Amino acid sequence: MSRLTPRLVKGFKDAGAASLHARRRMIETVRGVYESFGFEALETPAVEYVETLGKFLPESDQPDAGIFALQDGDEQWIALRYDLTAPLSRYVAQNIQALPMPFRRYQIGSVFRNEKPGPGRFREFTQFDVDTVGSASMVADAENCAVLARSLDALGLAGQFRIAMNNRKVLDGVLERAGLGQPDADPQAMTALRAIDKFDKFGVDGVKLLLTTGRKDESGDFTKGAGLSAAQADSILAFMASGQTTRAATCGALADAVKGSARGEEGVRELQEIASLLDAMNLPEAAVAFDPGIVRGLAYYTGPVLEAQVTFEIKDEDGRARQFGSVAGGGRYDGLVGRFLDKELPATGVSIGVDRLIAALEAANRMDSANVHGPVLVVAFDRTRMADYVRIAEELRADGIAAEIFLGEGGMKPQLRYADRKGSPVAIIAGGDEFAAGTVSVKDLILGAEIAASTSSDASHTEWRAAAKARAQVTVPRAELTANVRRMLAGAQK
């Protein structure tokens, strides 16, 4: 037989136990916040018909760009979902008669984008969404801010994030004043919106190039511009600079920027209403700000849009300091569900990028990974007594303690090395003498590692080592097994 070469598909990644533990703890924290607002769980398939997904991917104007698509046996085009919102819209339209309206759901799942992978950029990633379908109330949009703020607070990032909100209606008003049409009907306007969305990345000069003639990056790749005149570009850039220190002041500046545009003025009124709701929710200006630079790339947004940005600095690949950036985003998409119905159905929601948020928590030392331990290891000291080891493991499991019997080959040292690799905090050791005496040895592997790592010859430290050694492995009556294991586990959690 020829040997296969193990290869991981480009743009995808494996996840080990430590990563999955961290993800589970983060998800459970966020789930608790979502459920406190009355959202309920939903799951939808990873595949949908291409027409269900629509032409909404960033930087794409055709349904087969940026998605993984194939034809099924009926010659129907199907694709892996690129987000959780388009499938939600299909689900609501298909089940609208049976659903409570407004329908409030949360969902977590993998999404797939057939885009060029890069450092930290994968073709499969996990999103954790919350959405309200069937309500035009600005309370739902204010709650988008609240659930994100409460989630980030609960994860230990209080004071280290900023939720920035804008309104696509305001952006439409700015484009209108610049002589452009609506983005859903005017490709030039959509290109201009995408240019505005690059403001944080490229700054004033870069965005002006994207609004006008186009921009060439450091690698030589050229991005075609929106083809606006210098005057049109300057009017849009002036709007980008209208952010103020308070939500109320920013609303005033935005009102001046869109004066005369009915759609733009409607967007400002919505932000003013949201501002009063955020005050009622006790969300401070530092946590939620109005920012003219927020666009969101997806074409289906119709009203308030937002991003949650982590504000602390990290080092990039070249050692330069930069802010971590966005970990969540979303907005109002009143036209998406209506594609399946004969009427418009308002909707709004936000999505957390799970992998991005975990990376942010790790950068902020908020993962608490030191307290993640593997199972208690039952050492197979005597292979003829496997039934007895099974009974020990079952006794621990019955008391709610994760336990594993060593099933490989090797003596004591290889088994303890295995325990170290598994992160086991405690090992259970029993041979013929222990079984005859009705006892078992309980070894504290965490404390043992601390003793082995300590090198100080200080008198008080030497005294500590002697006392610790006495605690690190004890032989106890079998009836006291779980009590002693729990005592050692409690020490491992400190």
Give domain 17-363's CATH number out of 3.90.45.10, 3.30.930.10, 3.40.920.10, 3.40.50.10710.
3.30.930.10
Residue 63's pLDDT is 47
pLDDT digits (tens, 9 = 90+) for 236-292: 888 888 888 999 999 999 999 899 999 999 999 999 999 999 999 999 999 999 999
Residue 203 pLDDT class (50, 70, 90 cuts): confident
CA–CA dist 18, 32 (Å, integer): 22
Q: Residue 67, Cα to own-chain centre: how many angstroms?
A: 20
Residue 115's pLDDT is 84
| Mean pLDDT of the 91-118 span | 94
Element (H, E) at 200: helix 199-211
Q: Residues 6 or more apart from 121 whose CB is under 8 A from it?
A: 115
Confidence (pTM): 0.83
Residue 317's pLDDT is 66
| Fold of the CATH domain 373-492 | Rossmann fold (3.40.50)
Average pLDDT, the chain: 89
Instruction: Return the sign of the alpha-carbon dihedral for residues 460, 461, 462, 465.
Output: positive
At position 166, the amino acid (one-letter code) is N
Read off the tokens for 22. Answer: 């961290």
Higher pLDDT, 217 or 305: 305
pLDDT digits (tens, 9 = 90+) for 16-62: 888 888 889 999 999 999 999 999 999 999 999 988 887 655 555 44
Q: Reply yes or no on whether the pLDDT at 461 is more than 70.
A: no
Higher pLDDT, 193 or 165: 165
Percent of the chain with pLDDT over 90: 59
Percent of the chain with pLDDT over 70: 94
CA–CA dist 403, 183 (Å, integer): 59
Residue 186's pLDDT is 84
Long-range contacts, 475-483 (Cβ 8 Å, 24+):
475/434, 475/439, 475/440, 475/441, 475/442, 476/439, 476/440, 476/442, 477/438, 477/439, 478/438, 478/439, 478/440, 481/392, 481/395, 481/396, 481/428, 481/440, 481/442, 482/395, 482/396, 482/399, 482/401
CA–CA dist 354, 328 (Å, integer): 9
Of 181, 180, 185, 217, the C-alpha closest to 198 is 217
The domain ranges of the chain are: 17-363, 373-492
Read off the tokens for 392. Answer: 């020990």
pLDDT digits (tens, 9 = 90+) for 395-451: 999 999 999 999 999 999 999 999 999 999 999 999 999 999 999 999 999 988 888
